[in-house]
Amino acid sequence: MAKKVKVGIWGLGRAGAGMHTPEIGVHSDKLEIVAACDIDADRAKAYGEKHNVKVYTDPEEFLKDGNMELVAVATRSLDHLRHTRQAMEAGYAAIIEKPLAPSRKDAEILVELNKKYPGKLFCRQNRRFEPCFQHVREIINSGLLGKIHTIKLQRNNFSRRDDWQTLRANGGGQLCNWGPHLIDHALQFLNYEVESVWSKLSLIAALGDAEDCVKICIKGKNGCLVDIEIFDGNALSTNVYEVYGTRGALSSTDEKDIKLRYVEPSYKLIKTPVNNGQPDGFIFADNAQIPWRRETIMTDPELKVNMNSFYGCVADSLLEGKAFPIKLEEALAVLEICDIVRSQTPGFEVPSANQ
Protein backbone atom coordinates (compact mmCIF):
# COMPACT_ATOMS: atom_id res chain seq x y z
CA MET A 1 0.00 0.00 0.00
CA ALA A 2 1.30 3.49 -0.88
CA LYS A 3 2.58 5.54 2.01
CA LYS A 4 0.22 8.15 3.44
CA VAL A 5 1.00 11.26 5.49
CA LYS A 6 -0.31 10.83 9.03
CA VAL A 7 -2.08 14.00 10.09
CA GLY A 8 -3.06 15.39 13.48
CA ILE A 9 -5.64 18.19 13.63
CA TRP A 10 -5.17 20.79 16.36
CA GLY A 11 -8.46 22.61 16.98
CA LEU A 12 -11.72 20.94 15.97
CA GLY A 13 -13.97 23.88 15.16
CA ARG A 14 -15.32 25.26 11.91
CA ALA A 15 -11.88 25.13 10.29
CA GLY A 16 -10.41 21.96 11.83
CA ALA A 17 -13.52 19.78 11.74
CA GLY A 18 -15.48 21.60 9.05
CA MET A 19 -12.78 22.27 6.43
CA HIS A 20 -9.47 20.45 7.06
CA THR A 21 -11.15 17.13 7.84
CA PRO A 22 -13.23 16.81 4.63
CA GLU A 23 -10.38 18.26 2.53
CA ILE A 24 -8.05 15.54 3.86
CA GLY A 25 -10.79 13.00 3.14
CA VAL A 26 -10.69 13.92 -0.54
CA HIS A 27 -7.03 12.84 -0.60
CA SER A 28 -7.50 9.62 1.36
CA ASP A 29 -4.96 7.92 -0.94
CA LYS A 30 -2.25 10.27 0.31
CA LEU A 31 -3.30 11.49 3.75
CA GLU A 32 -4.95 10.02 6.83
CA ILE A 33 -6.01 11.64 10.08
CA VAL A 34 -4.52 9.67 12.97
CA ALA A 35 -4.99 12.09 15.90
CA ALA A 36 -6.82 15.25 16.87
CA CYS A 37 -6.85 17.66 19.78
CA ASP A 38 -9.35 20.09 21.24
CA ILE A 39 -9.46 21.53 24.75
CA ASP A 40 -13.24 21.18 24.56
CA ALA A 41 -13.67 17.60 25.84
CA ASP A 42 -17.15 17.08 24.33
CA ARG A 43 -15.95 18.27 20.96
CA ALA A 44 -12.87 16.05 21.07
CA LYS A 45 -14.91 13.00 22.11
CA ALA A 46 -17.51 13.51 19.39
CA TYR A 47 -14.80 13.95 16.75
CA GLY A 48 -12.96 10.81 17.91
CA GLU A 49 -16.16 8.76 17.70
CA LYS A 50 -17.17 10.12 14.33
CA HIS A 51 -13.80 9.70 12.65
CA ASN A 52 -12.44 6.80 14.66
CA VAL A 53 -9.17 8.55 15.54
CA LYS A 54 -7.25 9.05 18.77
CA VAL A 55 -8.22 12.34 20.41
CA TYR A 56 -6.58 14.47 23.06
CA THR A 57 -7.78 17.32 25.24
CA ASP A 58 -4.28 18.12 26.51
CA PRO A 59 -2.11 19.71 23.80
CA GLU A 60 1.08 18.50 25.51
CA GLU A 61 -0.08 14.88 25.32
CA PHE A 62 -1.18 15.44 21.70
CA LEU A 63 2.31 16.61 20.78
CA LYS A 64 3.80 13.49 22.36
CA ASP A 65 1.58 11.29 20.11
CA GLY A 66 4.55 10.32 17.95
CA ASN A 67 2.41 8.62 15.32
CA MET A 68 1.63 11.90 13.51
CA GLU A 69 3.88 13.35 10.81
CA LEU A 70 1.97 16.55 10.06
CA VAL A 71 0.05 18.80 12.45
CA ALA A 72 -2.65 21.11 11.07
CA VAL A 73 -2.95 24.11 13.39
CA ALA A 74 -6.57 25.28 13.27
CA THR A 75 -6.91 26.84 16.71
CA ARG A 76 -7.83 30.48 17.37
CA SER A 77 -5.88 33.11 15.47
CA LEU A 78 -3.54 34.44 18.18
CA ASP A 79 -2.38 30.87 18.97
CA HIS A 80 -1.31 29.92 15.43
CA LEU A 81 2.34 30.89 15.85
CA ARG A 82 2.80 29.26 19.23
CA HIS A 83 1.09 26.04 18.23
CA THR A 84 3.00 25.85 14.95
CA ARG A 85 6.31 26.37 16.76
CA GLN A 86 5.42 23.73 19.35
CA ALA A 87 4.38 21.22 16.68
CA MET A 88 7.55 21.75 14.65
CA GLU A 89 9.81 21.63 17.70
CA ALA A 90 8.11 18.33 18.62
CA GLY A 91 9.28 16.95 15.26
CA TYR A 92 6.24 17.33 13.02
CA ALA A 93 5.68 19.19 9.77
CA ALA A 94 3.01 21.87 10.30
CA ILE A 95 0.24 23.67 8.49
CA ILE A 96 -0.37 27.13 9.90
CA GLU A 97 -3.86 28.49 9.38
CA LYS A 98 -4.39 32.07 8.34
CA PRO A 99 -3.89 34.61 9.75
CA LEU A 100 -0.31 33.48 10.34
CA ALA A 101 0.04 36.27 12.89
CA PRO A 102 -1.45 39.68 13.67
CA SER A 103 1.71 41.42 12.40
CA ARG A 104 4.76 40.75 10.24
CA LYS A 105 7.03 41.34 13.25
CA ASP A 106 5.28 38.62 15.26
CA ALA A 107 5.75 36.19 12.38
CA GLU A 108 9.57 36.41 12.39
CA ILE A 109 9.61 33.09 14.25
CA LEU A 110 8.27 31.44 11.07
CA VAL A 111 11.37 32.55 9.16
CA GLU A 112 13.52 30.78 11.77
CA LEU A 113 11.34 27.65 11.78
CA ASN A 114 11.37 27.50 7.99
CA LYS A 115 15.18 27.65 8.00
CA LYS A 116 15.51 25.08 10.77
CA TYR A 117 12.96 22.65 9.28
CA PRO A 118 13.11 23.14 5.50
CA GLY A 119 10.12 21.89 3.54
CA LYS A 120 8.07 21.29 6.69
CA LEU A 121 6.08 24.52 7.06
CA PHE A 122 2.92 25.07 5.01
CA CYS A 123 1.05 28.39 5.09
CA ARG A 124 -2.67 27.97 4.51
CA GLN A 125 -3.38 30.55 1.86
CA ASN A 126 -5.89 28.00 0.60
CA ARG A 127 -7.99 30.42 -1.45
CA ARG A 128 -5.05 30.59 -3.87
CA PHE A 129 -6.63 27.40 -5.22
CA GLU A 130 -10.09 28.88 -5.88
CA PRO A 131 -11.00 27.90 -9.46
CA CYS A 132 -12.38 31.36 -10.27
CA PHE A 133 -9.22 33.11 -9.06
CA GLN A 134 -7.16 30.76 -11.21
CA HIS A 135 -9.42 31.21 -14.25
CA VAL A 136 -9.43 35.01 -13.93
CA ARG A 137 -5.63 34.89 -13.73
CA GLU A 138 -5.46 32.77 -16.88
CA ILE A 139 -7.73 35.20 -18.79
CA ILE A 140 -5.63 38.18 -17.67
CA ASN A 141 -2.41 36.40 -18.67
CA SER A 142 -3.86 35.54 -22.10
CA GLY A 143 -3.91 39.26 -22.95
CA LEU A 144 -7.55 39.10 -24.12
CA LEU A 145 -8.49 42.14 -22.01
CA GLY A 146 -5.39 44.15 -22.96
CA LYS A 147 -3.36 45.90 -20.28
CA ILE A 148 -5.17 45.59 -16.97
CA HIS A 149 -5.68 48.87 -15.12
CA THR A 150 -8.18 47.96 -12.37
CA ILE A 151 -9.08 44.77 -10.52
CA LYS A 152 -11.89 44.70 -7.96
CA LEU A 153 -12.02 41.89 -5.41
CA GLN A 154 -15.22 42.05 -3.40
CA ARG A 155 -16.74 39.84 -0.71
CA ASN A 156 -19.73 41.79 0.48
CA ASN A 157 -22.51 40.77 2.77
CA PHE A 158 -24.62 42.00 5.68
CA SER A 159 -23.84 40.03 8.82
CA ARG A 160 -24.43 40.87 12.47
CA ARG A 161 -21.62 38.48 13.33
CA ASP A 162 -21.29 37.75 17.04
CA ASP A 163 -18.57 35.13 17.56
CA TRP A 164 -15.00 35.39 18.99
CA GLN A 165 -13.78 36.51 15.56
CA THR A 166 -15.50 39.87 16.13
CA LEU A 167 -13.33 40.78 19.15
CA ARG A 168 -10.01 42.59 18.84
CA ALA A 169 -8.72 40.84 22.00
CA ASN A 170 -8.83 37.56 20.02
CA GLY A 171 -7.10 38.95 16.95
CA GLY A 172 -10.52 39.04 15.30
CA GLY A 173 -11.86 41.32 12.57
CA GLN A 174 -12.13 40.97 8.83
CA LEU A 175 -8.58 42.20 8.14
CA CYS A 176 -7.25 39.00 9.77
CA ASN A 177 -10.16 36.89 8.62
CA TRP A 178 -10.92 37.38 4.91
CA GLY A 179 -8.07 39.91 4.52
CA PRO A 180 -5.27 37.34 4.11
CA HIS A 181 -7.13 35.64 1.26
CA LEU A 182 -7.90 38.71 -0.83
CA ILE A 183 -4.58 40.43 -0.12
CA ASP A 184 -2.89 37.21 -1.26
CA HIS A 185 -4.92 37.37 -4.49
CA ALA A 186 -4.07 41.05 -4.94
CA LEU A 187 -0.34 40.44 -4.50
CA GLN A 188 -0.46 37.56 -6.96
CA PHE A 189 -2.10 39.86 -9.52
CA LEU A 190 0.51 42.57 -8.86
CA ASN A 191 3.45 40.19 -8.82
CA TYR A 192 4.35 41.52 -5.34
CA GLU A 193 5.42 44.87 -6.81
CA VAL A 194 3.50 47.35 -4.66
CA GLU A 195 3.81 51.11 -5.02
CA SER A 196 1.31 52.32 -2.44
CA VAL A 197 -1.59 51.29 -0.20
CA TRP A 198 -4.69 53.26 0.85
CA SER A 199 -7.17 51.72 3.22
CA LYS A 200 -10.02 52.20 5.63
CA LEU A 201 -11.31 49.95 8.40
CA SER A 202 -14.74 50.36 9.94
CA LEU A 203 -17.29 48.57 12.07
CA ILE A 204 -20.84 48.60 10.72
CA ALA A 205 -22.90 45.51 11.50
CA ALA A 206 -20.91 43.03 13.63
CA LEU A 207 -21.53 42.96 17.37
CA GLY A 208 -17.93 42.96 18.59
CA ASP A 209 -15.31 45.73 18.58
CA ALA A 210 -13.19 44.58 15.62
CA GLU A 211 -13.57 45.90 12.06
CA ASP A 212 -16.13 44.14 9.88
CA CYS A 213 -15.54 46.33 6.83
CA VAL A 214 -12.17 46.50 5.11
CA LYS A 215 -11.38 48.65 2.09
CA ILE A 216 -7.88 48.42 0.64
CA CYS A 217 -6.60 49.97 -2.57
CA ILE A 218 -3.22 48.61 -3.58
CA LYS A 219 -1.49 50.35 -6.47
CA GLY A 220 1.03 48.18 -8.24
CA LYS A 221 4.30 49.48 -9.66
CA ASN A 222 2.85 48.72 -13.11
CA GLY A 223 0.04 51.23 -12.44
CA CYS A 224 -2.67 48.59 -11.93
CA LEU A 225 -5.00 49.24 -9.01
CA VAL A 226 -6.38 46.35 -6.98
CA ASP A 227 -9.43 47.52 -5.07
CA ILE A 228 -10.39 45.14 -2.25
CA GLU A 229 -13.70 45.28 -0.40
CA ILE A 230 -14.57 42.95 2.44
CA PHE A 231 -17.76 44.41 3.81
CA ASP A 232 -20.04 42.77 6.33
CA GLY A 233 -22.12 45.93 6.38
CA ASN A 234 -23.34 45.88 2.77
CA ALA A 235 -26.97 44.94 2.34
CA LEU A 236 -26.54 44.57 -1.44
CA SER A 237 -24.11 42.07 -2.85
CA THR A 238 -21.63 42.96 -5.57
CA ASN A 239 -19.53 41.08 -8.11
CA VAL A 240 -16.80 38.95 -6.56
CA TYR A 241 -14.43 39.80 -9.42
CA GLU A 242 -14.27 42.73 -11.80
CA VAL A 243 -11.28 43.19 -14.08
CA TYR A 244 -10.88 46.11 -16.46
CA GLY A 245 -8.31 46.34 -19.23
CA THR A 246 -7.53 48.42 -22.30
CA ARG A 247 -9.36 45.93 -24.57
CA GLY A 248 -12.18 44.65 -22.38
CA ALA A 249 -13.46 43.59 -19.01
CA LEU A 250 -14.74 40.63 -17.05
CA SER A 251 -16.90 40.10 -14.02
CA SER A 252 -18.06 37.21 -11.89
CA THR A 253 -21.00 37.48 -9.55
CA ASP A 254 -20.78 34.14 -7.80
CA GLU A 255 -17.55 32.57 -9.15
CA LYS A 256 -19.56 29.93 -11.04
CA ASP A 257 -19.30 31.74 -14.36
CA ILE A 258 -17.40 34.66 -15.85
CA LYS A 259 -18.94 37.36 -18.04
CA LEU A 260 -16.67 38.89 -20.67
CA ARG A 261 -16.89 41.88 -23.02
CA TYR A 262 -13.83 42.44 -25.14
CA VAL A 263 -12.67 43.85 -28.43
CA GLU A 264 -12.32 41.24 -31.20
CA PRO A 265 -8.67 40.15 -30.72
CA SER A 266 -7.61 40.80 -34.34
CA TYR A 267 -8.99 44.37 -34.29
CA LYS A 268 -6.39 47.10 -33.82
CA LEU A 269 -7.37 50.05 -31.64
CA ILE A 270 -5.48 52.61 -33.72
CA LYS A 271 -4.87 56.03 -32.26
CA THR A 272 -6.41 58.62 -34.60
CA PRO A 273 -6.17 62.43 -34.24
CA VAL A 274 -8.53 64.12 -31.79
CA ASN A 275 -11.17 66.36 -33.39
CA ASN A 276 -10.37 69.69 -31.79
CA GLY A 277 -13.01 71.45 -33.90
CA GLN A 278 -16.82 71.50 -33.63
CA PRO A 279 -18.34 68.12 -32.65
CA ASP A 280 -20.27 66.69 -35.58
CA GLY A 281 -23.65 66.44 -33.80
CA PHE A 282 -24.45 65.00 -30.40
CA ILE A 283 -21.51 62.59 -30.40
CA PHE A 284 -18.46 62.16 -28.20
CA ALA A 285 -16.66 59.22 -29.75
CA ASP A 286 -16.92 56.83 -32.65
CA ASN A 287 -17.45 53.70 -30.54
CA ALA A 288 -19.86 52.02 -32.92
CA GLN A 289 -17.09 50.72 -35.15
CA ILE A 290 -15.45 48.67 -32.37
CA PRO A 291 -16.16 44.95 -32.90
CA TRP A 292 -17.16 43.95 -29.38
CA ARG A 293 -17.49 40.32 -28.35
CA ARG A 294 -19.64 39.25 -25.41
CA GLU A 295 -19.71 35.85 -23.80
CA THR A 296 -20.37 34.15 -20.51
CA ILE A 297 -18.21 31.13 -19.80
CA MET A 298 -18.37 28.56 -17.04
CA THR A 299 -15.52 28.83 -14.53
CA ASP A 300 -13.15 26.10 -15.63
CA PRO A 301 -9.47 27.01 -15.46
CA GLU A 302 -6.88 25.12 -17.48
CA LEU A 303 -4.98 24.41 -14.29
CA LYS A 304 -7.42 22.10 -12.55
CA VAL A 305 -7.46 23.38 -8.98
CA ASN A 306 -10.16 23.64 -6.36
CA MET A 307 -10.44 24.30 -2.65
CA ASN A 308 -9.26 20.75 -1.92
CA SER A 309 -6.02 21.25 -3.83
CA PHE A 310 -4.24 22.73 -0.82
CA TYR A 311 -3.97 19.35 0.92
CA GLY A 312 -3.07 17.60 -2.33
CA CYS A 313 -0.09 19.95 -2.68
CA VAL A 314 0.94 19.45 0.96
CA ALA A 315 0.86 15.66 0.45
CA ASP A 316 2.80 15.84 -2.82
CA SER A 317 5.42 17.99 -1.13
CA LEU A 318 5.86 15.66 1.86
CA LEU A 319 5.61 12.37 -0.07
CA GLU A 320 7.33 13.25 -3.34
CA GLY A 321 9.34 16.38 -2.53
CA LYS A 322 7.35 18.48 -5.04
CA ALA A 323 7.66 22.25 -4.58
CA PHE A 324 4.78 23.64 -2.51
CA PRO A 325 3.20 26.48 -4.51
CA ILE A 326 2.76 28.89 -1.57
CA LYS A 327 6.06 30.38 -0.48
CA LEU A 328 6.57 31.65 3.08
CA GLU A 329 7.74 35.03 1.73
CA GLU A 330 4.44 35.38 -0.12
CA ALA A 331 2.42 34.74 3.04
CA LEU A 332 4.65 37.18 4.94
CA ALA A 333 4.10 39.82 2.25
CA VAL A 334 0.37 39.58 3.06
CA LEU A 335 1.16 40.46 6.68
CA GLU A 336 3.19 43.48 5.56
CA ILE A 337 0.12 44.85 3.79
CA CYS A 338 -2.01 44.10 6.89
CA ASP A 339 0.46 46.11 8.99
CA ILE A 340 0.13 49.13 6.67
CA VAL A 341 -3.67 48.85 6.70
CA ARG A 342 -3.81 48.54 10.47
CA SER A 343 -1.63 51.66 10.85
CA GLN A 344 -3.89 53.71 8.57
CA THR A 345 -7.03 53.45 10.75
CA PRO A 346 -6.21 53.77 14.46
CA GLY A 347 -8.66 52.19 16.88
CA PHE A 348 -8.65 48.64 15.48
CA GLU A 349 -5.36 47.41 16.95
CA VAL A 350 -5.13 43.76 18.00
CA PRO A 351 -2.78 42.18 20.58
CA SER A 352 0.49 40.49 19.64
CA ALA A 353 0.42 36.76 18.94
CA ASN A 354 0.99 34.24 21.71
CA GLN A 355 4.54 33.07 21.02
Ligand X SMILES: NC(=O)c1ccc[n+]([C@@H]2O[C@H](COP(=O)([O-])OP(=O)(O)OC[C@H]3O[C@@H](n4cnc5c(N)ncnc54)[C@H](O)[C@@H]3O)[C@@H](O)[C@H]2O)c1
Stretch of 76-84, 210-218, 284-292, 335-343 contacting ligand X, by CB under 6 A: 76-84
Per-residue binding string, ligand X, 242-281, x by CB under 6 A, is ----------------------------------------
Query: Minimum distance between the CB of residue 268 and ligand X, rounded to whole angstroms?
Result: 44
Stretch of 34-42, 45-53, 240-248, 341-349 contacting ligand X, by CB under 6 A: 34-42
Q: Is 43 helix (H, G, I), strand (E, B) or coil?
A: helix
Distance CA 153, CA 227 (A): 6
Distance CA 33, CA 56 (A): 13
Distance CA 70, CA 120 (A): 8
C-alpha distances out from residue 188 to 115, 183, 330, Å: 24, 8, 9
Query: Minimum distance between the CB of residue 59 and ligand X, rounded to whole angstroms?
Result: 5
CB closer to ligand X, 75 vs 166 = 75
Query: Residue 308's CB: how many other CB atoms inside 10 A?
Result: 16
Query: Minimum distance between the CB of residue 277 and ligand X, rounded to whole angstroms?
Result: 58
If one asks whether residue 13 binds ligand X (CB under 6 A), the answer comes out as yes
Query: CA 162 from chain center: how many Å?
Result: 22
If one asks whether residue 84 binds ligand X (CB under 6 A), the answer comes out as no
Please pick, from the candidates 38, 106, 130, 212, the single residue that binds ligand X as defined by CB under 6 A.
38
Strand duo 213-220 + 194-202: pairing: antiparallel
If one asks whether residue 75 binds ligand X (CB under 6 A), the answer comes out as yes
CB closer to ligand X, 59 vs 248 = 59
Query: CA 227 from chain center: how many Å?
Result: 15
Per-residue binding string, ligand X, 148-177, x by CB under 6 A, is -----------------------------x
- Do 34 and 7 touch, CB atoms closer than 8 A? yes
Stretch of 13-21, 137-145, 262-270, 344-352 contacting ligand X, by CB under 6 A: 13-21
Stretch of 39-47, 193-201, 255-263, 283-291 contacting ligand X, by CB under 6 A: 39-47
Q: Is 203 helix (H, G, I), strand (E, B) or coil?
A: coil
Bridge partner list, 10: 37, 73
Nearest-10 crossing angle of helices 131-142, 179-189? 20
If one asks whether residue 11 binds ligand X (CB under 6 A), the answer comes out as yes
Query: Minimum distance between the CB of residue 177 and ligand X, rounded to whole angstroms?
Result: 6
Q: Is 54 exposed, middle or buried (0-12, 13-18, 19+ CB in 10 A)?
A: middle
Site residues for ligand X per CB under 6 A = 10-16, 19, 37-40, 43, 59, 74-77, 79, 97-98, 124, 126, 177
